[in-house]
Chains A and B, each alone.
Chain A
């Protein structure tokens, strides 16, 4: 995530670099595109969610490789990977605060380096997602066996659960009407299903 933050902030700064005079508009547009685009990509990944984190592991490298392609395309297919900055006319009068020479600014950035940072972030996310996926255990969905064992002298005693029987509560209670009982139980968020049973234990 640290690599990811590094890549995002650097790309953001690079994108705003030629927009000095209208950097506020540029930043808001950038925020809109990243949030809206992120929501769309996130929705696509959520669409293939299958209960594991595998879609995330797949979903991270795919947009990242597309971003890599965009970086390469933006750098004009130059095999050196260098981005050449073209300042639009609106910012012609703006002086870059870090500008020390024209050449230094013209070829300030190495897209390949940025790509490596990007790939590192993606790899970290993918590895994390796969590790999490391996930690996900399927649910058993059946009841656990019910027994308890204890030694009594030399005897080994195992208490075995046969289950639980629903008995008619109202038949066991004295000096209370079924309505009062129901009210008292409802107060504790309990409800009875009345059942008759001829031979309580």
Chain B
């Protein structure tokens, strides 16, 4: 069963907030968050705050890669 792993980038105006940071890099089929963030017109370094919804591997595994 394939399930989509998503994260949300919210631009409030003053701040750029990333909600969740994607799945572990070793999971087959995931780990494309950064390239899709760049494709969506933002740079990872522009992110001001990161919110983690819950401590599961597919939501926070890539946190240490963010700026």
**A interface residues, Cβ below 8 angstroms from B:** 143, 145-147, 149, 154-169, 172, 192, 199, 201
Contacts and interface: CB of A to CB of B under 8 A. Distances in A.
Interface in B27-45: 27-33, 35-37, 39-40, 42
Given A149-B40, A165-B30, A166-B28, A160 B3 contact: no
Given A155-B10, A165-B58, A199-B57, A146 B32 contact: yes
A169 B2 CA distance: 9
Contact of B6 (A149, A162, A172, A192): A162
Given A165-B58, A199-B57, A157 B30 contact: no
13 contacts: A145-B36, A146-B36, A157-B10, A160-B36, A160-B40, A161-B4, A161-B36, A163-B23, A165-B3, A165-B30, A166-B2, A201-B3, A201-B59
A172 B1 contact: yes
Interface of B: 1-13, 22-23, 27-33, 35-37, 39-40, 42, 56-59, 62
Contact of A163 (B1, B11, B31): B31
**Interface secondary structure of A, over-half rule:** strand
8 closest pairs, A vs B, by CB?
A145-B39, A163-B30, A162-B22, A169-B1, A162-B5, A147-B40, A158-B9, A162-B33
Contacts of A199: 56-57
B20 to A, nearest CB: 8
Contacts of B8: 157-160
Contacts of A159: 6-8
Contact of A162 (B2, B13, B23, B40): B23
